[in-house]
Amino acid sequence: MVSGPVDVPLEYVRLGLRFDRLEEGFVDAYTGDRRIRAQVADEPAPTPQGLRDQARGLLRELESSDLPADRVQHLRGQLTALECTARTMAGEPVGYRDEVQAYFQVDVALGDEASYAAAHAELEELLPGSGTLAERYAVHRRREECPPASLEKAVHALSSALRDRVRSSYGLPEAETVAYEVVTDKPWSGFNYYAGDYRSRVAINADLPHRTSQLPHLVAHESYPGHHTEHCRKEMGLVERAGHVEHTVFLVNTPECLMAEGLADLGLEAAVGAGWGPWTAEVLADLGLRLDGDLAERVSAAAAPLNRVRQDAAIMLHDQGASADDVVAHLQRWSLVSHDRAVQQLRFLTHPLWRAYITTYVEGYDLLARWLHARPAEQPVADRFLRLLDEPLTPGRITAELAG
């Protein structure tokens, strides 16, 4: 009996669902046929070695498939990441930098402390007064804290304002909705749970103080035009119109994560752009919340190079064998965060599922920001950003476009 050709996209979906049986939360979102998930749930318990071999087999099948180049490129990146994940789950030795490269198609290195010092110098000018810079920065951040009782209504106000902009600039299905909820005891500040059918649930972690200047970034990242918008447009286009079943599952620690986090971190720039600080102040003023929007925007730009310090911490911890105390001290020194905030960041960096994930924010933002800014002079930001929302682009593809 001769077997037919392997349906690589469908088998990739099954493989991804099997990983979730070994590590709950590995499937970030699944919007496909429920019967497929039920079938996978009824299978014998998977093993890391078995999943590794399945990923390798699908990579071989992919090379002889008749799929178009963009689907092959996407699936190759995803399957390469899954093969590496299976090896780490099996206890095979994989260097941290090699792990990050296999997951996200980027190479990582420690940041330049001179650029951090330059950022500190700029912040010194923006935040004059007595005390150390860290103390003055902490005072500035506390001044911007959103009262807990106002957090939910502030999120809803910003979400409504951003949604209006995204609907006019990028288009959204009429049926799309986002429900917000406040949660505690999580290693992240916000999380999008996409349920399919253009519906998302966004959780906001109340354990961390939320600043009014950061709330528009958070809402843009999780909802408009970030994760929720991307899921909606890809479900509407790649899945429903084009029938690309591989986009019914979204898997952690794969190249699509770097793309998703990078585009989400660019969300406020893509939806509002320069002047987002005063725009935010105007939206929140209706709720009785005060914000110096101009200062917030300038401080945010000055502090941007310090975002890379979080990746330094991961490299120190997992590649260089630094102690937790040394990593916390590094975060406090260069990121200008409190001890408690540094410990919270360390919690994320040491979580088994998320230890490499910080790269998606650091390298994802930098890569896609360079690509967005390298657009032709006559091309609007919205046209370029729409490609991120709609196409199965990969970090490798973006890097190649920048080089070309």
pLDDT mean over 203-210: 86
Over the stretch 168-193, which tens digit does the pLDDT of each residue have?
A: 999 899 999 999 998 888 777 889 99
- Domain coordinates of the chain in residue numbers? 8-94, 113-403
Percent of the chain at pLDDT > 90 equals 91
Q: What is the pTM of this model?
A: 0.95
Q: How far apart are CA 113 and CA 306, in angstroms?
A: 9
Q: How far apart are CA 356 and CA 348, in angstroms?
A: 9
Q: How far apart are CA 329 and CA 336, in angstroms?
A: 10
Would you say residue 3 has pLDDT above 70?
A: no
Residue that the structure tokens 């920048």 belong to: 402
State residue 27 phi and psi, 5-degree precision.
Answer: -85, 110
Over the stretch 275-318, which tens digit does the pLDDT of each residue have?
A: 999 999 999 999 999 999 999 999 999 999 999 999 999 999 99
Q: Which has the closest alpha carbon to 251: 8, 1, 19?
A: 19
Distances (CA, A) of 255 to 6, 89, 106, 269: 23, 18, 9, 22
Average pLDDT, the chain: 95
What DSSP designation does 241 have? I
Q: How far apart are CA 196 and CA 176, in angstroms?
A: 10
Q: How far apart are CA 281 and CA 285, in angstroms?
A: 6
Over the stretch 221-236, which tens digit does the pLDDT of each residue have?
A: 999 999 999 999 999 9
Whether the ω angle into residue 395 lies within 30 degrees of 0, i.e. cis, is: no
Over the stretch 340-360, which tens digit does the pLDDT of each residue have?
A: 889 989 988 998 888 999 999
pLDDT of the residue at 167: 94
Q: Which residues contact 118 (CB under 8 A, 6 or more apart)?
A: 305
Q: Which has the closest alpha carbon to 261: 350, 119, 399, 369?
A: 369
Q: How far apart are CA 89 and CA 331, in angstroms?
A: 28
